[in-house]
Amino acid sequence: MMGRLRAVVGIAVAQLRYDRRRTIIAAIGIAVAVLGTILLLSVGVGVIDFGQAKFDSAGRDLWITGGTIEFQPGSVGGVRSGIVDSHDVAVGLESRDDVATAVPLMFQTVYASPNQSSFETVAGVGGPARGGSVSIVAGREVNRSHHYAGGSYDGPMTHEIAIDRRTATLFNVSVGDTLHVGGTIATARQHEFTVVGITNTYSEFVGAPTLTMPHSELQTVTGKTASDRATFISVRLADGVDPEQTAAELERVYPDYEVRTNREQLRTILQDKAVVIASGISLIALAIIAGVALTLNLLLSMIFQQKQEFAAAQATGVMPSTLVGVVVVRSFLIALFGGLVGAILSVPGIYAANAAANAVTGFEGLAVLSPSLIAFGFSIAIVIGLLAGIGPAVYLYRSSTLSQLTAG
């Protein structure tokens, strides 16, 4: 039995060496399918873990929004903030026994310049740059602002901001330097802010160069004071309070707003990327189909081109099952080689994907390097080998008579 198996493997290897060009093409097709599968899964799992970790580190339990967050090109700030009278809503939330804190947050696109001669657009965050949920890595926290003054917006502005490291590099500024910031260039020329701290907390959510100032001051420089708008209200619940139950209750109290837990907010973000996710899955499916097609084509070509050799082998007493075994083993060896190549390439591929994601989005470590995911991707190669080997094996077995093999 072992001798027969060694003979089948030897013949299969010899045939692979004989038709090297087609063998390599088929193996490349399988390697691409394996590599694509591993990269897609690594990014998918990494994005979910990354997002969940960021929401958990924010120290918040609920996120209240005024509907879908939309970009509004041509408008000051460029981002639709759906919550109105946000300070009053936050005060109403904090009056509840089950809510510890409620903080309005606003995200807007702003113009910034250190010298008023050339302006760049960066992400402006209106919210606290202090406290345990915001990490200041250099300098100090932004002072508490009294500018809102109960809704009159005539209190003194701090004119202080915290920036992330990319903003510091973009403008070549550090703690103690100043930036002109506003929703328009004209407004930016009128408002000069002092950089008092460096924090990457908000930029890890936004994925872009970011500056942070008190909420009411960002409202002022972007013209949002009349409606007191916010993009989110982040809520930290009292100890022992169930987030899902409280979210459902708050939605009844505030029917115009959507209330989500950390997990629901992350799920909503991923749903917005459904087209991208579907496109990635489609590409992987096509890669697997291509791998099967290339291997199937190679095996069928081998059978048609070597009819005489198969007939001669039968004439000398080789059993049809042995010839079928050669086809199956050949398919398996191609899949094994392609799978190994794809799995090996996935390691530098994941590092490259992380580098690309960091350059495009500013997020680090989105793709995870997981042995279990690599093993799953490699198993795709085995599946391809089995699928590609079944058809030719059945065909050869059914036509394994001397007259049929020599016909044509």
Sign of CA dihedral 214, 215, 216, 218: positive
Same domain, 22 and 86: no
Instruction: Name the DSSP letter for residue 164.
Output: -
Flag whether 103 is in a domain: yes
Is the model's pLDDT at 166 over the cut of 70?
yes
* pLDDT tier, 210 (very low <50, low <70, confident <90, very high otherwise): very high
Mean pLDDT lowest among 4-8, 134-138, 236-240, 389-393: 4-8
Same domain, 164 and 208: yes
More confident residue, 230 or 274: 230
Task: Tell me what pLDDT residue 77 has.
Answer: 52
Question: Rg of the Cα trace of the chain?
Answer: 31
Flag whether 140 is in a domain: yes
Chosen domain end from 214, 240, 266: 240
Task: Tell me what pLDDT residue 21 has.
Answer: 77
Task: Tell me what pLDDT residue 4 has.
Answer: 54
Same domain, 28 and 82: no
Same domain, 305 and 232: no
Q: How far apart are CA 342 and CA 33, in angstroms?
A: 8
Task: Tell me what pLDDT residue 112 has.
Answer: 96
Mean pLDDT lowest among 84-88, 221-225, 391-395: 391-395
Task: Tell me what pLDDT residue 269 has.
Answer: 56
More confident residue, 68 or 372: 372
Is the model's pLDDT at 7 over the cut of 60?
no
The neighbouring-strand residues paired with 105 are 232
Which residues are CB-contacts of 42 (< 8 A; sequence separation ≥ 6)?
A: 346, 350, 353, 367, 368, 369, 370, 373
DSSP per position, 276-304? HHHHHHHHHHHHHHHHHHHHHHHHHHHHH
Flag whether 247 is in a domain: no
- The 10s digit of each residue's pLDDT in 310-328 is 666 666 665 666 667 777 7
Chosen domain end from 240, 260, 283: 240
Flag whether 75 is in a domain: yes
Task: Tell me what pLDDT residue 29 has.
Answer: 80
Same domain, 147 and 47: no
Same domain, 145 and 26: no
Q: How far is CA 399 from CA 314, 319, 406, 408, in A?
A: 12, 13, 10, 13
* pLDDT tier, 221 (very low <50, low <70, confident <90, very high otherwise): very high
Average pLDDT of every residue of the chain? 79
Query: What's CA 356's distance to the chain center, in Å?
Result: 11
Of the ranges 40-54, 200-214, 242-256, the best mean pLDDT one? 242-256
Same domain, 179 and 217: yes
Is the model's pLDDT at 169 over the cut of 90?
yes
Percent of the chain with pLDDT over 70: 68
Q: What is the mean pLDDT of residues 212-241?
A: 91
Flag whether 110 is in a domain: yes
Same domain, 156 and 298: no
Q: Structural domain of residue 97, as residue ranges?
A: 62-240
Task: Tell me what pLDDT residue 73 has.
Answer: 43
Flag whether 266 is in a domain: no
Q: Do residues 63 and 268 touch, judged by C-beta distance below 8 A?
A: no
393: which 2 tokens? Answer: 């094996």
Q: Do residues 368 and 377 touch, judged by C-beta distance below 8 A?
A: no
277: which 2 tokens? Answer: 């996710």
Question: In 3-state terms, what secondary structure has residue 232?
Answer: strand
Flag whether 264 is in a domain: no
Residue for token pair 């083993």 = 329
Q: What is the mean pLDDT of residues 63-74?
A: 63
- The 10s digit of each residue's pLDDT in 9-39 is 665 566 666 667 777 877 888 888 888 888 8
Same domain, 195 and 122: yes
Q: What is the mean pLDDT of residues 175-183?
A: 95
Same domain, 67 and 206: yes
Chosen domain end from 240, 259, 284: 240
Mean pLDDT lowest among 99-103, 186-190, 195-199: 99-103
- The number of distinct structural domains making up the chain is 2
* Among 363, 93, 331, residue whose Cα is nearest residue 230: 93
Q: How far apart are CA 330 and CA 342, in angstroms?
A: 18
Task: Tell me what pLDDT residue 314 has.
Answer: 61
Task: Tell me what pLDDT residue 338 has.
Answer: 86
Q: Do residues 218 and 202 touch, judged by C-beta distance below 8 A?
A: no
Same domain, 320 and 382: yes
Mean pLDDT lowest among 176-190, 194-208, 254-268: 254-268
Flag whether 260 is in a domain: no
Q: How far apart are CA 306 and CA 298, in angstroms?
A: 12
Which residues are CB-contacts of 306 (< 8 A; sequence separation ≥ 6)?
A: 15
* pLDDT tier, 89 (very low <50, low <70, confident <90, very high otherwise): very high
Same domain, 231 and 369: no
